[in-house]
Structure 1
Amino acid sequence: MNIQGQNNINLIWIWILAALFNAAMQELLVRGYLYQLWKQKYNVVVAIVLTTALFTFMHAGAFEAGIIPVMNVISMSVFITLLLEYTGTIIAPIVAHFVWNTIGAIILGGVSLAPDYPNLFNSTFQGNSLISGGTYKIEGSIVVLIVNLILIVSLFACNKRKNRILKGTGSLPQKGAIAK
C-alpha cells in the first residue's frame, strides 16, 4: 500500500455516520431479521447459506472484479454471521461491518462503498495483484480472504467451545462465580 496524498473531507463525521447507517441497515435486515427467521424455520447452515447468498448479491460489484473479491464478500459474510452466533448480539456484526467500511473505504480508500463516498487517503496498492488486489485494492486481495478464513476458523472453534460449555453445565459461569 502506498499513500500518495490526503484529501480534505469537509464534515467527515457525516460520511462516517453514513457508513454506520449503511452497515446497520444491512446487518439488521440480513442477520438481524432474515438470518434469525431462516435459522428458526430451517437450521443454522441453511440460514448461513441463504443470508450469505443475499449479502453477496447485495455487494454485486464484487462480481465485476472477479472471483477473489466475490470470495472475500462470501467469507466476510460467514465471519460476521459466526460473530453474531458467538456474541449473541447484532451489535457485533454491525460494528465489524462498520469498521471494515470506515477504515477500508473512508480512511484508506481501499474498499468501494459507492462512487460518492470520499476517502481520506489516496492509496494505491502495488505489487503482485493477487496479494495487493491490483486495481480492486484490498477488496481484490487474497490476503483479505486468508484473514477472513482465519477469523472463520477461529470463531467456529470458539462457538464449538461455547456450545460444549453450555451443554456441559447448562450455562456459562457467571462473572465472579467460584468454580467447583
Structure 2
Amino acid sequence: MKRIWINRQGSLRMGWKLLAVFAASMVLNFVVNGLLSLKVNDRTLFGQNGFTDSLKAPSLYFAIVVVFAAAVLEKWSLSSIGLTNPLTGWGKGAAGIVSGGVSCLVVILLLGMLGYAVFPDGLLGADWHRLNVAAIFTSCLFPAIGEELLFRGYGLKLMTGSFGRNGAIVASSLLFSLMHGANTGVTALAFLNIGLIGLVFALVAVRSGSLWFPIGFHFAWNFVQGSLFSGAVSGGGGGGLIPVNDVGKAWLSGGAFGIEGSIWATPILALLVVIAAGWRFKETAGGWNRSGLSA
C-alpha cells in the first residue's frame, strides 16, 4: 500500500508540474502578445505582419519555459530531456527532416491521386508571392521545437518516473492529441492521427535519447504541409507556395484540420509507428539503454 501511495503522490506532483509549465507558457505568451499589441495614437507600436508576428506563437514560450523549468528548477542537464549537442545531433535532425518531408509529401500526393486534394495551379505552380516567412516560424519551426521539448522532452521524462517508459510514451502521445483538441476542424480521426504521430516522436526520442529527429520530422511535416503547399496545419493556416484545395468529406480529405484529419493518412502513420517501435525494441533487445530521457 505504501508503494502505491508513493506512486500516486509522484503522479500528482508530475501532473501539477506539467500543468504549471503549460500555464506559465500561456501567461508568458499572453504578456508578450499584449506588449506587441500596444498602440500609440491608434498605431501599433511594434508594427504588424513583420518579424514581431513570429513572436506570437504559443509554442515559442513552451520552449522557453521548459528549458527554464528543466535547467533551473529541476536542475537537469538539457541532454537529459533530449536537447543534446546540436553538433553531434545534426545527423538525427537531418534524418528527421527528410523523413518528415517525404512522409507528408506522400500523404498529400496520395490525396491528390485519389481526388481529395486539388492543385489549381499544378504541382509546379509555385507562387513566391504567397510565401509567408513569419508562418515558417509560427506554424513550422516553433511548434516543432516547443512541442517536442514539452511532450517528448520534459513531459516524457516526468511521466517516465510515474508510469514507466512505455506508459509515458502512450501518455505523452495522448496529451499531445488533447492539446490539438480545440483546433479548427478537429475530429475523432484527427485526434487518432495526431496521437499516432506523437507515438512515432516518443518512440524515436526514447530510442535515440535525442529530440533532434522528432524536431526535424515535426518541422518538415509542417513546412511541406503549410509552407510548401498551402494546406491547413492541424487546424491552423499558413502561406504556401503551391495552392491546394481539399475536396470531399473531411474524413477523406482532412478538411479544415489538414491532412492529419484524413483516413488515408492513418495507415501511413500506423506504419511509421510500427517502424519506430520495431527499431526501439530491436535496440532494447540488444541491451541498449543509454537514453538521456530515462528517469
Q: TM-score, normalised by structure 2?
A: 0.50
8 Å Cα contact 2:151/2:176 also seen in 1: yes
Please report the RMSD computed on the Cα atoms of aligned residues, expressed in angstroms.
2.6
Offset of residue 156 of structure 1 = 0.9
1:178 counterpart residue number: none
Rounded to whole Å, the distance in 2 between the matches of 1:15 and 1:88 is 29
- Same amino acid, percent of matched pairs: 24
Q: How does 1:14-93 map to 2 (within 5 A)?
A: 14-18=134-138, 19-61=140-182, 64-93=185-214
- Structure 1 alignment gaps of length 5 or more: 172-180
1:176 counterpart residue number: none
Offset of residue 11 of structure 1 = 5.7
Q: How does 1:28-177 map to 2 (within 5 A)?
A: 28-61=149-182, 64-113=185-234, 115=236, 117-126=238-247, 130-134=251-255, 136-166=257-287
Rounded to whole Å, the distance in 2 between the matches of 1:88 and 1:54 is 20
Offset of residue 118 of structure 1 = 1.9
Offset of residue 157 of structure 1 = 1.1
Residues 49-79 of structure 1: per-residue CA shift (max 9 Å, x gap): 3212221122124585322111111111111
Q: How many aligned residue pairs are there? A: 168
8 Å Cα contact 2:183/2:235 also seen in 1: no
- Structure 2 alignment gaps of length 5 or more: 1-116, 291-295
Residue identity matched to 2:146: M
Q: TM-score, normalised by structure 1?
A: 0.79
**Structure 1 runs of 4+ off > 4 angstroms?**
113-116, 127-130, 134-137
